[in-house]
Amino acid sequence: MKITLIQIGLALISLFIIGDRIQRYLRREISQSIFKLISFLTVWTVVLIISLFPTTVYYISRKLGFGETLNPLIFAGFIIVFLLIFKIISIIEELERHITKIVRQEALKNIKKRR
């Protein structure tokens, strides 16, 4: 098996991030929940495996019934990412609306007192 520089780089980055996250969780840093740790570990372990054994992607593709071509898999990935972005945008908009509501109520307190 011939390993390229990109593969080594990607593997090192994912190993570093996995180590860093576990360390942070063990140090009980604020905002490091078990859910966050598991999701980070899942994503970066997948990156680590794919960078070291790129052929696994073809194996998964075949198992899923896409055959040898990866395009549908990449396409599905894009759709998931876009859906996530839209979800995040709608959450942010909702938050903005709430902030405005609170700011407005606070601003109108004085007016209500004047009455």
Q: Which residues bind another protein (CB under 8 A)?
A: 96-97, 99-100, 103-104, 106-108, 110-112, 114-115
**d(C-alpha 50, C-alpha 56), whole Å:** 7
At closest approach, how far in Å is the CB of 83 from another protein? Answer: 17
If the CB atoms of residues 71 and 110 are measured against another protein, the closer one turns out to be 110
At closest approach, how far in Å is the CB of 96 from another protein? Answer: 6
**d(C-alpha 71, C-alpha 74), whole Å:** 5
At closest approach, how far in Å is the CB of 85 from another protein? Answer: 15
Q: DSSP class of residue 31?
A: T
* φ, ψ for residue 68, nearest 5 deg: -80, -20
If the CB atoms of residues 28 and 114 are measured against another protein, the closer one turns out to be 114
At closest approach, how far in Å is the CB of 87 from another protein? Answer: 16
End-to-end Cα, the chain, rounded Å = 81
If the CB atoms of residues 62 and 97 are measured against another protein, the closer one turns out to be 97
CA 54 to chain CA centroid, Å, is: 21
